[in-house]
Amino acid sequence: MSERLILGIESSCDETGLALVALPQTGAPRLLSHALHSQIDMHQAYGGVVPELASRDHIRRVVPLARQVLSESGKTMADVDVVAYTRGPGLAGALLVGAGVACALGAALGKPLLGVHHLEGHLLSPFLSADPPEFPFVALLVSGGHTQLMRVDGVGRYELLGETVDDAAGEAFDKSAKLMGLPYPGGPHLSRLAVSGNPEAFDLPRPMLHSGNLDFSFAGLKTAVRTHLVRLSLLDHADKLADPANLPVLADLAASTQAAIVEVLVKKSLSALKSTGLKRVVVAGGVGANKLLREQLDRSCARRGIRVHYPELHLCTDNGAMIALAAAMRLQAGQATLSSEPTFDVKPRWDLSAI
């Protein structure tokens, strides 16, 4: 077998992602094709992800997307050697769709399955970029549900250095944005609004900045945003929030919120680099798409001779490519537990450092 073909299926939240990765006998895995359907438009009407709707939509999308990635790379289902799927963490029903389809394909094709940790997918996604990292490195994982700093010594060698004790950074973006009347998911909307605002206009807390450890806390920030909106008589007033006359003050609040989140993320990452003595940091997860975070981290790290690696921008948020890649890297490292049993064993809660 000259190279193995891995089909990756991501369905942990509100994106259905499929991808094909080729794993040569020597050298790096290559992304052949990937396809994504985002459910953002569907959930926007509810201001957040509705789990039942997410599962039903994954069911509709997963097979057509699988056909699309196969036809785009000139392959057929019979060419697939391993079916990889997101086993957790995530929404139980949504995960079961991907796991169910993977099990069915594996059984029909007589091919093994590989359950992948969603955060490991994010963490390894920069290996698909034009500037891939080398081990070891510090990883800042900033997604909608997780904010963690990890020490990564190799595939499967992850040590948790610190994490959020309450809301994730993505949640802080999303919840603050929702209070400001912005659509779901709030992160990109809030950062767009922040462009015209003054980041020093509002004095917002930098939670746990001086806690002496590498943990985070973002719940207080959202409360502070709420308090400012109450003072401005804007909270829960959809008409006033949409009034162009209030745009400048909302832009100031958005810029101040973003500045607070980014400052904490950057300073804690620098502390993690200092305490581990490592000279490389990888940023992964949806919040890694944030422009200010990238600018500030790049600037601070450049001054200290530290290299920063990101996934390609379109692979920052959830996708199937990172799942197929993580499976390929595990296979290559001899660390994959392949299964030929069609077990529906998803793990909605699952610690990365426990794998």
Residues that bind ligand KG4 (CB under 6 A): 13, 143-145, 170, 173-174, 185-188, 191, 285-287, 289-290, 317-318
Question: What is the C-alpha to C-alpha distance for residues 41 and 127, in angstroms, rounded to an integer?
Answer: 30
Q: Minimal distance in Å, beta carbon 258 to ligand KG4?
A: 8
Residue 29 or 144: the one with the smaller Cβ distance to Zn ion is 144
Residue owning tokens 């502070």? 224
Q: Pick from ligand KG4, Zn ion, none: which does 290 bind, CB < 5 to 8 A by kind?
A: ligand KG4
Q: At what angle do helices 186-194 and 247-276 cross, to 10 degrees?
A: 110
Question: What is the C-alpha to C-alpha distance for residues 341 and 339, in angstroms, rounded to an integer?
Answer: 5
Q: How many helices (H) and strands (E) does the chain have?
A: 11, 10
In SS3 terms, 74-137 reads as CCCHHHCCEEEEEEECCCHHHHHHHHHHHHHHHHHHCCCEEEEEHHHHHHHHHHHCCCCCCCCE
Q: Minimal distance in Å, beta carbon 348 to Zn ion?
A: 14
Give strand pairing partners of 22.
Answer: 5, 30
Tokens of 91: 């929404």
Question: Measured between alpha carbons, how far is residue 233 from residues 244, 249, 252, 284 in Å?
Answer: 15, 12, 16, 37
Q: What value, to the nearest 5°, has the Cα angle with vertex 270 and ends 269 and 275? A: 100
Residue 105 or 322: the one with the smaller Cβ distance to ligand KG4 is 322
Q: Minimal distance in Å, beta carbon 298 to ligand KG4?
A: 15
Binding site for Zn ion (CB under 5 A): 143, 318
Question: What is the C-alpha to C-alpha distance for residues 76 and 73, in angstroms, rounded to an integer?
Answer: 9
Q: Minimal distance in Å, beta carbon 291 to ligand KG4?
A: 7
Residue 5 or 251: the one with the smaller Cβ distance to ligand KG4 is 251
Residue 180 or 331: the one with the smaller Cβ distance to ligand KG4 is 180
Q: Minimal distance in Å, beta carbon 148 to Zn ion?
A: 12
Please answer whether residues 271 and 214 qualify as being in contact, where contact means their C-beta atoms are separated by less than 8 angstroms: yes
Q: Pick from ligand KG4, Zn ion, none: which does 173 bind, CB < 5 to 8 A by kind?
A: ligand KG4
Residue 148 or 246: the one with the smaller Cβ distance to Zn ion is 148
SS3 62: helix
Question: What is the C-alpha to C-alpha distance for residues 305 and 301, in angstroms, rounded to an integer?
Answer: 6
Residue 271 or 317: the one with the smaller Cβ distance to ligand KG4 is 317
Residue 39 or 143: the one with the smaller Cβ distance to ligand KG4 is 143
Q: Minimal distance in Å, beta carbon 212 to Zn ion?
A: 29
Q: Pick from ligand KG4, Zn ion, none: which does 145 bind, CB < 5 to 8 A by kind?
A: ligand KG4
Q: Minimal distance in Å, beta carbon 279 to ligand KG4?
A: 26
